[in-house]
Amino acid sequence: MGKPIDLRSPYANGPDRHSKTARDALQSLWRGLNMPDEAMDVIELTGAEPVFPSSFAVGTAAQASMAAAALAAAEIWHLRGGTRQRVSVNMLHAAQECRSYFTLDGVELDVHDKITGVYRCGDGGWVRIHANFAHHRDGALALLGCPTGPETSREMVERALSTRSALDFEQQAAEAGLVVTAMRTFDEWDRHPQGLAIAGQPVLTVTRMGEADPRPLPKYSQEARPLKDIRVLDLTRIIAGPVCGRALAAYGADVMLVNSPHLPNIETIAETSRGKLSVHADLETADGRIALANLLRSAHIFVQGYRPGALESVGFGPQDVARIRPGIVYVSLSAYGDSGPWAQRRGFDSLVQTATGFNHAEAQAAGSDRPKPLPMQILDHASGYLMAFGAQVALARQATEGGSWHVRVSLAQTARWLRSLGRVADGLLCPMPPIESYLETTPSGFGQLTAVRHAAQFSLTPARWTRPSVPPGTNPTVWPFN
């Protein structure tokens, strides 16, 4: 790495050197799913790169993905009988919303474990360890021969890795079901079997997976938001999946977050659960499966972020859900896609950034010898809005064509899309902007919540969250009466 590279040179950017505008990016997403061109006449995108300190078009990714979800909501409203309304998204506001910033009772929480982060290995390579969940942290420490108690320090981990190969440790961790990735360059990822497996795929897919009669959307009422009376089951955790459900809730859907009583969550659940009901269902038990099936029978959208194949084992894979609820829109999120040798691997935004080349490329642009992350978890947030976009596209198709539909998004595909948006020559010189003017404070079941208000603006049906975020299991496992 060493000194900063010139991002204006072909060497710096390779195939990514031609940057796209946010409108270009949005139009490509919109036309890629055969949405009507006339809807593009009502979208207004303001702001320009750079908005955050990055050599990548993170503001463009935030704005375009959010605009796609919001414009799809406006299109649903139009299908329900409303006139087309204007939708606007400001780039800086969208990027601020993708920071996952929030406080509870005035306190900003630290969601990162001290062991989480990057480490240099004995072969000169780097690995990133995700340790924010205790079982992932303790598993990685045990694999390294380190104690798992509070006395363990980063220095102990560094010493243990000083005799390891980065790629070998990545493989050992994957075999143990842990979350560790080695840092790669873009070129190395492009030649990797998993990079090759997803190379020809679109950023998201919406496919018909079964037959069902159309279910016409309820007629609109003038004061209602676009997704009023649309029921969404949200079986996701961490950030990307919850962002999808949060967006659908902002556009009026009844979103029910379904958590296992035995799985941990991270503190961001207070922020990503705005607008949602929250229930417990243990799918390892007959009672939990029956409760979920009963909810499913009147749902429109089913969103899940488990590893490929995990829900099939308990009877809620795509085909299972389509049999229980013909006409369902099933949305799947994965780390690395549903095909290729890494399809079953666990992964989070920070790890996918490391594996797919972003940490190396950002460090190279900054002239740093240490892996450099993007300024926010944009792969998570953009994936969440792409999921919401695809879900609404499929909902519209179901209403007009019938069928059951499967929407698939992966963090690795979103990473590939972010690369396609090009580089920002002076992006790393941009200071991190203040966030205070974008915040709103509301009561929640976790305390007084201060977080970024939604960036998508609608001229006729303002987006908002009418339900406060509440802890898992707060609500009964029944839909509210509308």
- Residue range 229-241, pLDDT digits in tens: 999 999 999 999 9
With contact defined as beta carbons under 8 Å apart, do 414 and 379 qualify? yes
In a domain, 172, yes or no: no
Nearest to 331, CA basis, from 254, 264, 234:
234
309 band by pLDDT with thresholds 50, 70 and 90: confident
208-235: pLDDT as tens digits: 999 999 999 988 777 799 999 999 999 9
pLDDT at 265: 84
User: 3-state DSSP helix/strand/coil percent for the chain, to nearest 5?
Assistant: 40, 15, 45
pLDDT at 190: 98
Domain count, the chain: 1
Average pLDDT over residues 138-166: 95
**Structure tokens that stand for 452 in this block:** 């970024």
With contact defined as beta carbons under 8 Å apart, do 308 and 164 qualify? no
Residues in the chain: 482
Distance CA 204, CA 99 (A): 23
According to DSSP, the β-strands at 231-235 and 254-259 are parallel
Q: Is the pLDDT of residue 318 over 80?
A: yes
In a domain, 326, yes or no: yes
In a domain, 225, yes or no: yes
According to DSSP, the β-strands at 180-182 and 204-210 are unpaired
Q: Which range, of 156-170, 257-271, 417-431, averages the lowest pLDDT?
A: 257-271
Nearest to 230, CA basis, from 190, 188, 275, 264:
275
Higher pLDDT, 14 or 404: 404
Between the two ends of the chain, the Cα-to-Cα distance in Å is 59
In a domain, 268, yes or no: yes
482 band by pLDDT with thresholds 50, 70 and 90: low
Distance CA 162, CA 119 (A): 9
Distance CA 427, CA 52 (A): 7
Contacts of 296 (CB under 8 A, 6+ apart): 233, 302, 321, 324, 325, 328
Nearest to 121, CA basis, from 168, 162, 155, 154:
162
**Structure tokens that stand for 179 in this block:** 């979350």
99-114: pLDDT as tens digits: 999 999 999 988 788 9
Q: What is the DSSP letter of 433?
A: P
Q: Please, what is the Cα angle at 367 between 8 and 185, to 5 degrees?
A: 80
In a domain, 84, yes or no: yes
**Structure tokens that stand for 358 in this block:** 């972003």
Average pLDDT over residues 456-475: 97
Average pLDDT over residues 10-30: 70
Determine whether 102 is exposed, middle or buried from the number of CB atoms within 10 Å of its CB (0-12, 13-18, 19+). Answer: buried
- Cis ω before 15 (30° cut-off from 0): no
**Alpha-carbon torsion (360, 361, 364, 368), positive or negative:** negative
pLDDT at 307: 83
**Structure tokens that stand for 387 in this block:** 């999921």
Q: Is the pLDDT of residue 3 over 90?
A: no
Average pLDDT over residues 157-186: 97
pLDDT at 18: 44
Q: What is the mean pLDDT of the chain?
A: 94
In a domain, 178, yes or no: no
11 band by pLDDT with thresholds 50, 70 and 90: very low
pLDDT at 16: 42
19 band by pLDDT with thresholds 50, 70 and 90: low
pLDDT at 7: 55
Average pLDDT over residues 175-183: 95
277-289: pLDDT as tens digits: 999 999 999 999 9
Residue indicated by tokens 């998508």: 456
13 band by pLDDT with thresholds 50, 70 and 90: very low
Nearest to 247, CA basis, from 308, 322, 303:
303
Contacts of 280 (CB under 8 A, 6+ apart): 258, 259, 260, 261, 472, 473, 477
pLDDT at 2: 54
pLDDT at 75: 97
pLDDT at 359: 98
Phi, psi torsion values for 324, nearest 5 degrees = -70, -40
**Structure tokens that stand for 144 in this block:** 């390294």
CB atoms within 10 A of CB 459: 13
Nearest to 423, CA basis, from 379, 361, 377, 357:
361
Distance CA 326, CA 107 (A): 45
Helix (H/G/I), strand (E/B), else coil: 57: coil
In a domain, 176, yes or no: no
Q: Is the pLDDT of residue 31 over 70?
A: yes
Give pTM, 2 decimals.
Answer: 0.95
In a domain, 436, yes or no: yes
294 band by pLDDT with thresholds 50, 70 and 90: very high
pLDDT at 302: 98
- Strand order across the beta sheet in which 180-182 lies: 117-120, 126-129, 180-182
Residue 231 structural domain = 22-109+195-340+373-458
Domain containing 415 — which CATH number?
3.40.50.10540
Most confident of 10-14, 221-225, 305-309, 455-459: 455-459
CB atoms within 10 A of CB 37: 10
According to DSSP, the β-strands at 276-280 and 204-210 are unpaired
How distant is the alpha carbon of residue 189 from its chain centre? 21
CB atoms within 10 A of CB 206: 21
Distance CA 105, CA 447 (A): 6
Distance CA 352, CA 130 (A): 11
**Structure tokens that stand for 306 in this block:** 């488990």
